[in-house]
Structure 1
């Protein structure tokens, strides 16, 4: 056989192999009501964005199938003193562009995550400094003893120092200011999937990372993440087979999908609590007809709002039973939850009217309420129900409902008087919520998402002590006291814990994490 014939046969064989590879490639088509707003892992501390981006970027410590802590870019960790943690880093790991992963990337990512514009300060706020021992060993020094540091690191994702410097992306994308850079649309992580094509608010395509350091348990080669904002359209896409999986299922359609012979519903309790916040800092509300003072500084007004909300009615008519009304800012699965404090103030419109009158607002007042319509389950409908409840006690709500793409930048700038937010304790520990959501806003991510600036000095003191306390009973007693202080102050208005509802074809196996994370490395399409 001559050379030309051999070459032709070789080329033909290569083409057949390529065709076979394409034919056998497994694609997962996901539908969601919203999009990840940026590919930058430090730009927005929002669960969907975290879930999507953590298929591309990785933390030092992750969670396994069972949601328990597991090694990721760190292979081991231990405390060498009360304020020092030694992390051994994984060797032989490459970023998607081929750059080796080293300690320099961890230190760079720490500086980036704590800088202005970062939404991830709460994950690194306990750190004083990181010392490089060698390319794959670091010492993390905390400001004070912090025994749950590994749990805090599960969403502290590592970026390539070299890539960020080369692409002028050394600072995070600041969603509050609308500033974007290369990290907004491109990605270079170490994770099991690579970003291939980005069409914001339409679809984003990912492909399996052939050089991934770890095991990808599932068989998905390509993921197409589709944004389908309309509930009916999203459900129709699943039923027709245009997509393979979706979340969330609109609560009114759960039964319909359960009844479909080729579909299934994955349900479970979520760690997220939905709540309402009020501006308690400004001397005059930005968005109200009350001038010269701030009604929300008066506890009687905050309590009146609380008791005007028919939470059982919202559960019954809006959530169709897919919620658990709650009196605390985190659910029962979270360490530190206090069962004896799980008692909401009663729904009582007459008591609400009396409290408003005592506070000097016998005819109520007007205030703007900001809400998303594509972030939480039935978020817009919940806010409409709250507005209707408030009308019964004389409070006129001017409801502003919008897509999360414009909603989050606005409320994160604190351009709001009354707002909705949801929070998941990523550490499955109370401190995460006490520190980020309920503490007085300050340095190191303290109160970064306490957007109404609720403040109580004793609460802050307890939060600091809770961070360092290793005695479980003492720690839980302090958490209990902190919860009680916040409840007595009516610091926020807790509504309910959501229930997770995902839909999928029956031939798609998914792992549903309680933080609503969907990790594609666990997905198998049969």
Structure 2
């Protein structure tokens, strides 16, 4: 009997191991890791309709579900996504060949009519999309045939291709957009689908089995809302989170030295700047703005406070962006000269000014540093820190003072930033400085019209040199983009910022 019992017990043991997934740490066959990752995000999206928001928390999710005609590769080049080819027809018209055999996740065919529908929906005032200006120059969209679309602008518009890579121009299912609610039930052509959304807690995405580029290797991606950066890091080290973004400067080396983790930093598309309301009050005086610029030790902020997680520069856009001027001269740190300038201008001190900014470790740290440095030249800076909504309302008022904010040139073309922040038509929109210079307006308009890159670059140099003379803004630095991950996650592509995270070929090992 014994010879029969042992084989039976062995067979039962093997069956139990097989049912449990099999394998062991000491030589047995290891179970394949579950293809699920968790990403920490600091805020919850307000909608999953890409046309009705202009917010990074939203685009971080929608970029996994929807796709644009073109996209920016990690090297900054424009690459095909839903469009496979594009050629100019004349100085105001581009023709796009569309990818064939693609369907939205609800089964609706992707075609020229879907492109026309989506871009017109974004531009439609009824949509109330804050990003409508991205396509505001488009005069007409024509579906030539099933897989060919032509886009005509009112006047020549050189940055059009760059604008069509912006996540707000995502192509949506016409069926779902007209008969459903994309804000809660998103339908795109992307690699992932919405599985679950627990507001304020998490969003769970699942792999799109019918994705035209092949089903992703990750079965699920969970985006957990964890507002505190310290808590995000704790969970990353504990293994309950696989990826965090915006690594704290003082913790970067600690993460990078952990054998289970990797930390990456690089220059992205962002800028951190100080804005001046030129409309009224003391800041309308050029000498006051110049003195403030001279009193701020921007290089010291980069080296000491940001600890290598930022790059100094005077231009409003970083060197990664077309139209940047990396060698642009700016005001040198000279607090004694700043005091003398205020005295020469007859400005009485102490001078009380207000600076608005929004909640966040970085903005609050920089605001406090500016406050301390301006006190050295007789300026009493009252710092007001609020949530982003209240901050946006405050700097929309005519009588606001200074403000501290970041900006991302998402299209990687300087027009996106310089037109928004500097053109006089943008008063009441993003030009919170109320800056108005007819020559700058003319240069910006000419840079949109010409398709010669050298001419555009020369015009953007003129614009930014004039800005340094007028000082509606003072660029402080370019924050480095950063993220940290558990090394079990492999194959992710992270260009520029979190909203561009590409998980199409990512996997768990």
Deviation at 1:497, TM superposition (A): 0.6
**Residues 1:354 and 2:337 are matched in the alignment:** no
Aligned to 1:328: 315
- Provide closer, same or farther for how the CA distance between residues 256 and 339 of structure 1 changes in structure 2, counting only shifts above 3 A: closer
Aligned to 1:172: none
Match of 1:514 among 491, 496, 503: 496
CA RMSD across the alignment: 2.8
Summarize deviations over 1:16-67 as a string: whole Å, max 9, x none: 99x99x9875111111333434323133334443233211111111234554
Matches within 5 A, 1:15-414: 25-64=34-73, 66-116=75-125, 117-155=128-166, 156-167=169-180, 182-215=181-214, 219-281=217-279, 293-341=280-328, 343-374=329-360, 378-404=362-388, 406-408=390-392, 411=395
Aligned to 2:472: 491
Q: 3-state DSSP class of the match of 1:386? A: helix
Total equivalences in the alignment: 477
Match of 1:436 among 411, 416, 420: 420
Q: Distance in 2 between matches of 1:503 and 1:208?
A: 23
Deviation at 1:183, TM superposition (A): 4.0
Match of 2:411 among 427, 449, 456: 427
Deviation at 1:230, TM superposition (A): 1.5
Q: Is the 8 A contact 2:330 2:468 kept in 1?
A: no
Summarize deviations over 1:382-425 as a string: whole Å, max 9, x none: 12212222222232333222343554565568894322222222
Structure 2 runs not aligned, ≥5 long: 1-17, 23-30
- Provide closer, same or farther for how the CA distance between residues 186 and 417 of structure 1 changes in structure 2, counting only shifts above 3 A: farther
Q: Is the 8 A contact 2:315 2:326 kept in 1?
A: no
Summarize deviations over 1:437-459 as a string: whole Å, max 9, x none: 222234xxx99422222221111
Q: Is the 8 A contact 2:288 2:342 kept in 1?
A: yes
Q: Is the 8 A contact 1:197 1:206 kept in 2?
A: yes
Q: Is the 8 A contact 2:37 2:220 kept in 1?
A: yes
Summarize deviations over 1:179-236 as a string: whole Å, max 9, x none: xxx44443222211112222333221111111212235x5211111112222221111
Deviation at 1:149, TM superposition (A): 1.9
Deviation at 1:365, TM superposition (A): 3.2
Q: Is the 8 A contact 2:415 2:448 kept in 1?
A: yes
Q: 3-state DSSP class of the match of 2:485? A: strand
What TM-score, normalized to structure 1?
0.83
What TM-score, normalized to structure 2?
0.86
Aligned to 1:177: none
- Provide closer, same or farther for how the CA distance between residues 364 and 384 of structure 1 changes in structure 2, counting only shifts above 3 A: same
Aligned to 2:508: 525
Q: Distance in 1 between matches of 2:268 and 2:73?
A: 17
Q: Is the 8 A contact 1:373 1:401 kept in 2?
A: yes
Q: Distance in 2 between matches of 1:56 and 1:110?
A: 17
Q: Distance in 2 between matches of 1:189 and 1:166?
A: 14
Moved more, 306-315 or 34-43: 34-43
- Provide closer, same or farther for how the CA distance between residues 383 and 215 of structure 1 changes in structure 2, counting only shifts above 3 A: farther
Q: Is the 8 A contact 1:129 1:141 kept in 2?
A: yes
Q: 3-state DSSP class of the match of 2:425? A: coil
Aligned to 2:439: 458
Q: Is the 8 A contact 1:417 1:452 kept in 2?
A: no
- Provide closer, same or farther for how the CA distance between residues 118 and 295 of structure 1 changes in structure 2, counting only shifts above 3 A: farther
Q: 3-state DSSP class of the match of 2:50? A: coil
- Provide closer, same or farther for how the CA distance between residues 238 and 102 of structure 1 changes in structure 2, counting only shifts above 3 A: same
Q: 3-state DSSP class of the match of 2:194? A: strand
Q: 3-state DSSP class of the match of 1:483? A: helix
Moved more, 241-250 or 420-429: 420-429
Summarize deviations over 1:232-267 as a string: whole Å, max 9, x none: 211111111110111111111011111212111112
Q: 3-state DSSP class of the match of 1:55? A: helix
Q: Is the 8 A contact 1:47 1:515 kept in 2?
A: no
Q: Distance in 2 between matches of 1:362 and 1:68?
A: 51
Q: Distance in 1 between matches of 2:285 and 2:330?
A: 19
